[in-house]
Amino acid sequence: MRIIISGGGTGGHIYPAIAIANELKAIDPGADILFVGAEGKMEMEKVPRAGYRIEGLPVVGIKRELTLDNLAFPLKLGRSLWRARQLVRQFRPDVAVGVGGYASGPTLLAASMAGVPVLIQEQNSYAGLTNKVLARWAKRICVAYPGMEAFFPAEKIILTGNPVRKDIQHADTQVETGRQAFGLDASKPTLLIIGGSQGARTINESIEQGLSQFIAAGVQVVWQTGPAFIERARAAVQATGSDLIKPYDFIYPMDQAYAVADAVVSRAGALSVSELCIVGRPAILVPFPAASEDHQTKNAMSLVDRNAALLVKDNQARTTLVAEALSLLGNADQRAILTRQIKLLARPDAGRDIAQEIMKLK
């Protein structure tokens, strides 16, 4: 079977796509999978690292504010559609899969024009613009949240959850390996900070301000800052003279990071929420307020309303986040409740279920 998987731009699109590809390979080891992404975006590095080939399109997003960059949008969209049609003719896919992001638009449109059946995977509780536009051509639409009939035709929707990589699903087997990898003391509590693949400035600045409080409490912090903040974080940590704070620009062994965490502070992107459900870690979610239609808050509230996570608003994080994190780490009963409730929301078979739906479209 020959399958194109398209989309990206953020880890929240890329890693579900890779998880789907892995499940397709598990079902059909001979499957030929081609990824199509956007030139210059992180999928062009992450996908080959996962062992798959990828082609790039010159597509860019259209900015919501008036800007000269938008003048290039029609030209790059046209070039991207032309290149996508080339790729579809050359690769001859049996099915095309879109996971959201700039590249999936021209790719799935080109595939549909060539008569190739299309499947969309929507990760968020509020559908992205690209997927909403593509829905009319899709045969199946796999979603992570109930109530998505507000965006898509009900007869096309299948509730699957978001696919999560197998290594994340087996994170609990990596506790000792993770402690060694991050240089942690098993007798001290550990807080994991993940602000998304690019980092989160509000979260980073909140943690930076609270470093002395974590050190005074004897708390170890595994801190993914994103590339833009890493040098500032390293300088701040060095100034403390403590080895309790471990800053990283990006954490590749996320299974080990989750394994060692007694609690997690995270943005509320769809992938992060799905991973937290799978690993069952007590979490404080800080939704990114500028996400389209405030979808991260909607993602977070799907847990908070079920007593499965805590919420700190972005505009309150600098004054309350560190105190909330220390309070959670000091309250074993609360952590136990959050762990129990968040595990109830896990969908560990999402990747396999989506892969099976893809196979049905051949």
pLDDT the model gives residue 291 = 81
pLDDT the model gives residue 218 = 97
292 is in an annotated binding site: no
Confidence band for 95, pLDDT divided at 50, 70 and 90: very high
pLDDT tens readout for residues 99-111? 988 889 999 999 9
- Average pLDDT across the chain, whole number: 92
pLDDT tens readout for residues 240-251? 999 999 999 999
pLDDT the model gives residue 69 = 62
CB atoms near residue 266 (< 10 Å): 25
pLDDT the model gives residue 62 = 58
Listed in sequence order, the residues at least 6 apart from 276 whose beta carbon sits closer than 8 Å to its beta carbon are 264, 266, 283, 303, 309, 342
pLDDT the model gives residue 61 = 61
Confidence band for 138, pLDDT divided at 50, 70 and 90: very high
Residues 96 and 102: beta-carbon distance below 8 Å = no
pLDDT over 80 at 9, yes or no: no
pLDDT tens readout for residues 225-239? 999 999 999 999 999
274 is in an annotated binding site: yes
Q: Compute the average pLDDT of residues 22-48.
A: 93
pLDDT the model gives residue 246 = 97
pLDDT the model gives residue 288 = 93
296 is in an annotated binding site: yes
3-state SS, 13-61, equals: HHHHHHHHHHHHHHHCCCCEEEEEEECCCCHHHHHHHCCCEEEEECCCC
270 is in an annotated binding site: yes
User: Which two structure tokens, joined as six digits, stand for 308?
Assistant: 């499965």
pLDDT tens readout for residues 54-86? 999 887 665 555 666 655 666 777 888 999 999
pLDDT over 80 at 321, yes or no: yes
- Give the three-class secondary structure for 295: helix
pLDDT the model gives residue 103 = 86
- 2-162+348-360 — its CATH code? 3.40.50.2000
| Range of lowest pLDDT (65-79, 192-206, 283-297, 308-322) | 65-79
pLDDT tens readout for residues 143-178? 998 889 999 999 999 999 999 988 999 999 999 999
Q: For the chain, which residues make up each domain, given as ranges?
A: 2-162+348-360, 167-343
Instruction: Indicate the pTM of the whole model.
Output: 0.84
272 is in an annotated binding site: yes
pLDDT over 80 at 127, yes or no: yes
pLDDT the model gives residue 93 = 98
pLDDT the model gives residue 42 = 87
Q: Compute the average pLDDT of residues 311-326.
A: 97
Q: Compute the average pLDDT of residues 167-193.
A: 96
Which CATH architecture is the domain 167-343 placed in? 3-Layer(aba) Sandwich (3.40)
- Provide the percentage of residues in the chain whose pLDDT is more than 70: 95
Q: Compute the average pLDDT of residues 24-35.
A: 96
36 is in an annotated binding site: no
pLDDT the model gives residue 165 = 85
Q: What single string gives the DSSP state of each residue in 223-269? A: EE--TTTHHHHHHHHHHHT-SSEEEES--S-HHHHHHH-SEEEE---
240 is in an annotated binding site: no
Higher pLDDT, residue 42 or 86: 86
pLDDT tens readout for residues 257-292? 999 999 999 999 988 999 999 999 999 999 999 887
164 is in an annotated binding site: no
207 is in an annotated binding site: no
